[in-house]
Amino acid sequence: MNFDPALAAREALVRALSSGDLESDTDAAEEADETFSSSADQEASAAYRCLHDIGSRHPHAIEFCEYLIYITWQQVTEVTVARYFRMGSDLCDHYLALTRNGGAPATPNSLEQVMALRESYRAGLGLDEENEDDYRADTVKGGD
C-alpha cells in the first residue's frame, strides 16, 4: 500500500459526516471515532463495534463504508484475526458494489485504495486472486 489508512480514514470520515448520509447518527459517529482514535483495548473495540453498527444502519453511505474499510485495517494491525480480515474484505466488496450499482461515485483515489486493501484483506485470509482481473474490469472507474 502506498497510502496511510489512518489518514485516509480521517478524510473519508470528514466526507461522510458532511454528506448528511448518516442522518441522526452523525454525532454518535463523531463520538465513537474520537474514542476509537484515542483509546486502546476494550474501549477502542467497543467504539469500533459502535461504528460498525452505525454503518449497518446506513448501508448506502459510501463514504462511511470507505471509512470503515480503513479503520478495519487499523484493527487488523492491532489484533490480527481472521474475523477482521473477513470484515474488511466484505466491506470492500460492499463498497465496490455500491460504486457499480449507481451509488455515489467513488473518487479514483478512493477506489484505488479500497482495491489495494481488498487485496490485502483477501491475502490475509489466504484467498487466491482468481477472477481478480475480471472483478477490476467490472468495477466502475471514478468519473464514469
Structural domain count of the chain: 1
Inform me whether the pLDDT recorded for 56 exceeds 70.
Answer: yes
Contacts of 2 (CB under 8 A, 6+ apart): 116
Q: Domain for residue 11, yes or no?
A: yes
Residue 140's pLDDT is 47
Residue 144's pLDDT is 41
Residue 100's pLDDT is 85
What 3-state class would DSSP assign to 125? Answer: coil
Residue 143's pLDDT is 45
Q: Domain for residue 143, yes or no?
A: no
Q: How far apart are CA 117 and CA 91, in angstroms?
A: 10
Q: How far apart are CA 115 and CA 121, in angstroms?
A: 10
Q: Domain for residue 23, yes or no?
A: yes
What 3-state class would DSSP assign to 144? Answer: coil
DSSP state of 25: G
Q: How far apart are CA 92 and CA 125, in angstroms?
A: 14
Q: How far apart are CA 45 and CA 108, in angstroms?
A: 30
Q: Tell me which residue range forms the domain holding 134.
A: 5-138
Give the pTM: 0.86
Q: How far apart are CA 7 and CA 73, in angstroms?
A: 12
Q: What is the pLDDT of residues 71-104, one digit of tens each?
A: 999 999 988 899 999 999 999 999 999 988 666 6
Structural contact between residues 70 and 109, judged by C-beta atoms closer than 8 angstroms: no
Confidence of residue 129 (pLDDT cuts 50, 70, 90): low
Q: Domain for residue 144, yes or no?
A: no
